[in-house]
Amino acid sequence: MKIKIVTSKKIKNRFTKDAIKEYAKRLTRYCKIQLNVTNKIEKEIKNDSYLIKISNSGKMLTSEELADKTSSLAISGNSHITFLFDDEHYVGNADFDLKISNMDIDNELLLIVLYEQIYRAYRIINNEPYHK
Amino acid sequence: MKIKIVTSKKIKNRFTKDAIKEYAKRLTRYCKIQLNVTNKIEKEIKNDSYLIKISNSGKMLTSEELADKTSSLAISGNSHITFLFDDEHYVGNADFDLKISNMDIDNELLLIVLYEQIYRAYRIINNEPYHK
């Protein structure tokens, strides 16, 4: 499965880069994941990719539900998922709007949380214990 | 105001330490904040401190509601707040159970999110814009 995370906001904090790197490394066993920081959001949205928008007006899922969703997408032949941050630059509709918390969390922290949730989803799908 | 964060789980990731350090630095203008990593959770729970337990069975708040809560506590004379992680080691009741997300988020990431929310709360209380 190929996962693309798209945001228009540059990563400023060193710790965010380090955290993303760590989770990306752990994820190499499970999927191809890439982060695209770009102002040309529209160009990153492809029709053949299932689009999940991270949005405050979205729906909350548990980690298990996100794992189920990822697994169902794979089974139904969706081999690409795109996660979009900063939806203010994208007027189109997403296939799913995902809300992570009732709190307004800093964009970079949400990005780390998303990486961790994708990693957790694969651990759940593969029935692997989650220690770290 | 004095804020104490208590957890029994050692911080393993470098990026978590860096992120906490960054938010702790930003918070020096607003409060005294300390992180205590200890196995003796009970000893850290003082009667004169308002206890907020981070718990999956807790109540979700928005960032504004957490800011209001912090501000109300200060006004009503509670000058100490203790945030407790890893509630499995603490059998007592808390003054408030706070749930951050429906997702099971890694403990270290939740710790960073909490620091960020405390910082955000003070920015809200002081009517300051939140740029970073």
DSSP letter for each residue of A28-85: TTT-EEEEEE-S-HHHH--TTSEEEEEEEEEEE--HHHHHHHHHHHHHTT--EEEEE-
| 8 Å CB contact of A60 and B101 | yes
Lowest-confidence region among A65-79, A84-98, B32-46, B94-108: A84-98
Closest-CA residue of B relative to A131 is B106
DSSP string for residues in chain B = -EEEEEESSPP--HHHHHHHHHHHHHHTTT-EEEEEE-S-HHHH--TTSEEEEEEEEEEE--HHHHHHHHHHHHHTT--EEEEE--GGG--SPPSEEEE--SS---HHHHHHHHHHHHHHHHHHHTT-----
Domain spans in chain A, listed from the N-terminal domain onward = 2-125
> Domain B2-125 is of which CATH architecture?
3-Layer(aba) Sandwich (3.40)
For residue A132, name the pLDDT band (cuts at 50, 70, 90). very low
CA-based nearest distance A90→chain B, Å: 21
For residue A131, name the pLDDT band (cuts at 50, 70, 90). low
**What residues 54-93 of chain A have any CB closer than 8 A to a CB of chain B?**
60-63, 66
* Phi, psi for B45 (deg, rounded to 5): -95, 110
CB < 8 Å to A60, chain B: 101-103
| pLDDT, one tens digit for every residue, chain B (132 residues) | 999 999 999 999 999 999 999 999 999 999 999 999 999 999 999 999 999 999 999 999 999 999 999 999 999 988 999 999 876 778 789 999 999 999 999 999 999 999 999 999 999 999 998 764
CA pair distance A111, A36, nearest whole angstrom: 12
Lowest-confidence region among A61-65, A110-114, B63-67, B71-75: B71-75
CA-based nearest distance B39→chain A, Å: 19
CA pair distance A55, A97, nearest whole angstrom: 6
Determine the residue among A103, A106, A122, A131 to mutate to test chain B binding: the one whose Cβ has the most chain B Cβ atoms within 10 Å: A103
Q: Report the DSSP beta bridge partners of residue A80.
A: A2
**CB-CB contact of B19 with A20 (8 Å):** no
Give the dihedral of Cα atoms B109, B113, B114, B117; nearest 10 deg: 180
**CB-CB contact of B53 with B84 (8 Å):** yes
Lookup result for tokens 């930003």:
B26
* Phi, psi for B25 (deg, rounded to 5): -65, -45
CA pair distance B55, B3, nearest whole angstrom: 18
Q: Does A34 touch chain B (CB under 8 A)?
A: no
Does the pLDDT of residue A108 top 90, yes or no? Answer: yes
CB < 8 Å to A15, chain B: 15-16, 18-19, 22
CA A73 from centre of chain: 14
For residue A92, name the pLDDT band (cuts at 50, 70, 90). confident
Q: Does A112 touch chain B (CB under 8 A)?
A: yes
CA pair distance A80, A78, nearest whole angstrom: 6
Q: Does B116 touch chain A (CB under 8 A)?
A: yes
Q: Out of B60, B61, B116, whose CB is closest to A106?
A: B116
In chain A, % of residues over pLDDT 90: 85
**CB-CB contact of B50 with B5 (8 Å):** no
Does the pLDDT of residue A82 top 90, yes or no? Answer: yes
Closest-CA residue of A relative to B124 is A104
Q: Does B104 touch chain A (CB under 8 A)?
A: yes
Q: Per residue in A6-39, pLDDT tens?
A: 999 999 999 999 999 999 999 999 999 999 999 9
Q: Per residue in A47-56, pLDDT tens?
A: 999 999 999 9
